[in-house]
Amino acid sequence: MSTKSTLNDGQGLAVRQAYLTVGIALLVGLFMALILLLFEYQSEQRRIEQQLQRIITSSSAVAAESLWILSTDLADVVSEGLINQPLIVEATIETFTGTVLSQRSRHVMSECWLDNLSLLFGPTRVEVIPLFHKKDLIGHLKLKIDPLPARQIFFKRIQYITVGELVKMLILAAVLLALFYITLARPIRNYANWIERIDPDNPEGWQQAPPKRKQRDELTAFGESVFRRFVQARAYFLELQQTRSALKTLNQELEGRVQARTKELEVALARAEHLATTDVITGIPNRRSFMEQAQKKHAEWLQYQRPYALLMIDLDRFKQINDTYGHPAGDQVLISVAGVLQQYTRREDIIGRIGGEEFGVLLVGVSQIGAIILAERIRAEIEKLPIEFGGQSISVTASFGLVPPDQLQQDFNEVFKDGDQRLYQAKNEGRNRVCIYHSQICTSEH
């Protein structure tokens, strides 16, 4: 039985080498372009500074002369000449008392994206040049300098240099690819074709000689070595052919067992994780899961300042409910309270049973007023819960300790401890209320 050739499937060695060579050429081209642009930028920056220095030096004397003789015409000529320079958009000649003798400006066509590139040649600035007459300060020459024209010229240079370097690198890559194909890829492909033509089920065909080459090199030695190995392999082929079917069947059975075992382990792991993080009675996260999630939200608050509020809840006189109605009734109360928490919190909020009759709620992205309103609503909903058990109606209330967003601390353990203190304050002040400890604010239905 002949096998289908796979030489044309996927990407050949030459194609992959082309991708690699072109990619390297592009990177090298960009790197060379960046180096050239850096030198070009430094050269252009020096040229701009020298040009401005020449302009200032040549104009200062004439501007000082116009101030000394108070010649408006001469000052206007100087100002007009200055604003005709590409980098100068406004020129002002004024006396040392602030009297403007001449002021000229011109409008510059704005290019928004170039205007924002203040890193190139600096932002628009004002140069103030003192003007002297015989060492006496008589006024100032103020020049508003806008590097936008320099940016425009430099951007064109970026395009020319980048395209030029990339073209040179691509030409070099094409030459290298041609050499690579002639000296390596084509001979390897010939050897691959020779191997592909050999039928694994026909050992007689394994004696076909490899392609002949004029050169005597490593590839020629490779072909001869493969040919010798084919001849040696004939002795083992029949035995391998007989065992191949059995190995395939065994492998399929093994894969089936591994897949079945993997699914069993995944189910067991998911169940173990669920049991480890979920309260058995209420079905909401347990203390461990609540604390882990809360710590993550606290870390997000420290990094991104996204506010949250911590609400600590403890059922009032829960021991009396257990003593009066029994522990199954107490479990039903816990389940009902957990249902209220699930109903009146959002998906991103975190709820959990901390232990016994104590619950925790972390409200994400709320303000202090919003947290108080939500806490009061939950308190009211718990108070009017219709809990029926064994033909008896059970009423329950809860006390709340609230840590609002503006009173959070760096350590979450301190925040949690603070919530407990506020909860104890609510208990001490009569229960069935929401308490903010530090500000001495407690809310209740009363």
- H helix and E strand count, the chain: 11, 12
pLDDT bin (cut points 50, 70, 90) of residue 377 is very high
Distance CA 433, CA 354 (A): 19
Quick one: what percent of the chain has pLDDT higher than 90? 34
Residue bearing the bigger pLDDT, 117 or 409: 409
pLDDT bin (cut points 50, 70, 90) of residue 266 is confident
pLDDT at 1: 47
Section 13-27 average pLDDT: 72
Residue bearing the bigger pLDDT, 406 or 441: 406
Section 226-247 average pLDDT: 69
pLDDT over 70 (residue 9):
no
pLDDT at 63: 80
Section 75-85 average pLDDT: 83
| Beta bridge partner(s), residue 95 | 139
| 42-70 residue pLDDT tens | 777 788 788 778 888 888 888 888 888 88
What is 185-244 written as a DSSP string? IHHHHHHHHHHHTS-TT-GGGGGPPPPP-SS-SHHHHHHHHHHHHHHHHHHHHHHHHHHH
Domain with CATH 3.30.70.270 in the chain: 287-444
Distance CA 121, CA 83 (A): 19
**HSE toward the beta carbon, residue 416, CA cutoff 13 A:** 14
pLDDT at 359: 98
pLDDT over 90 (residue 84):
no
Place of tokens 């050269």: 43
Q: Is the pTM of this model over 0.85?
A: no
What is 397-442 written as a DSSP string? -EEEEEE-GGG--SSHHHHHHHHHHHHHHHHHTTSSEEEETTTTEE
Closest by CA to 418, choosing from 431, 405, 430, 401, is 401
pLDDT at 263: 86
3.30.70.270, 3.30.230.10, 3.40.190.10, 3.30.2400.10: which CATH number matches 287-444? Answer: 3.30.70.270
Lowest average pLDDT, out of 109-123, 185-199, 324-338, 358-372, goes to 109-123
Cβ contact 60:140 at 8 Å = no
Domain with CATH 3.30.450 in the chain: 13-159
pLDDT at 235: 63
Distance CA 335, CA 314 (A): 14
Q: What is the mean pLDDT of the chain?
A: 82
What fold does the segment set 13-159 form as a domain?
Beta-Lactamase (3.30.450)
Section 68-89 average pLDDT: 83
pLDDT over 70 (residue 233):
no
